[in-house]
Amino acid sequence: MEEPSAPAVANDTIFIGGSEVVAIDTDGEEMWRNPDSGRTPAVANDTVYVTFSPGVRALSASDGSEQWEYVATVNDRPAEYAFPSAPAIVDKTIYFGLTDYAREDATAMYALSATTGTEQWMTLFERDIVVGAPAVADGVLYSHVAGFADFLSERGTVEAGRAIALDADDGTLRWEVDDAEDTEFSDPIVTNGLVLVEKHSILADESVILALEEADS
């Protein structure tokens, strides 16, 4: 059985994802159970959004019924062995990254209508194999991606990561931070006009926290 994911809490209800999605009240009483798998629940607009391989489902927060389902596609092919990131929901848009380990051309960031599940844009990262969870503030989406470096170390193949900022309206790249070929970045946190990320050197096994200025909206 799939391990439960971190819960989401809204309106005195706890939503837990895993091999199925369950809602319980603050007294521990089950309110509803949806038998389909879903992870990393996020709640907005009286809807529970959960990720699954390979996409996102929207469930009614009141009874767990499915509102819509989106299956990610790249170049007109459905994602296969795919792992979506935790979603971010801003206003009426849901954002998430997706890594497809079955293909080398299917790492992407997506924006969907939170109401209908219609794709608004998709940004493909053709040279990367991992994309992180997004954080969105003031019309800009922040995340990180990683591919393979152009060299082999004593520890084998090394990731080359980049912190990125995309336009939240259309997915175009605003900026990226790419300091070294052996660097990987954490999911970002946006606070007080700064984007905070952990930058980790894989070869040196050292980490620092970077404070980057937000992109202009």
Q: Catalogue all structural domains in the chain, each as residue range(s) with its CATH number.
A: 1-133 (2.130.10.10), 135-217 (2.40.10)
Q: Which residue has the higher pLDDT, 151 or 102?
A: 102
User: In the prediction, which pLDDT does 56 show?
Assistant: 95
**Residue 106: alpha-carbon gap to chain centroid:** 14
Give the pLDDT band (50/70/90) at residue 179.
low
pTM assigned to the model: 0.85
Give the pLDDT band (50/70/90) at residue 48.
very high
Q: Dihedral through CA 42, CA 45, CA 47, CA 52, nearest 10?
A: -40
Give the pLDDT band (50/70/90) at residue 211.
confident
pLDDT digits (tens, 9 = 90+) for 75-134: 777 777 778 889 999 999 999 998 877 666 668 899 999 999 999 999 988 767 778 889
Mean pLDDT of the chain: 83
How far apart CA 88 and CA 61 sit, in angstroms, is: 17
Tokens (6 digits) for 60: 């009614």
Give the pLDDT band (50/70/90) at residue 154.
very low
Q: Is the pLDDT of residue 23 over 60?
A: yes
pLDDT digits (tens, 9 = 90+) for 190-202: 888 888 888 777 6
User: In the prediction, which pLDDT does 6 show?
Assistant: 82
Q: Is the pLDDT of residue 217 over 80?
A: no
Q: What percent of the chain has pLDDT over 70?
A: 85
Query: According to the per-residue pLDDT averaged within each range, which of 23-27, 50-54, 158-162 is highest?
Result: 23-27
Give the pLDDT band (50/70/90) at residue 172.
very high
Region 63-72 average pLDDT: 95
Give the pLDDT band (50/70/90) at residue 156.
very low
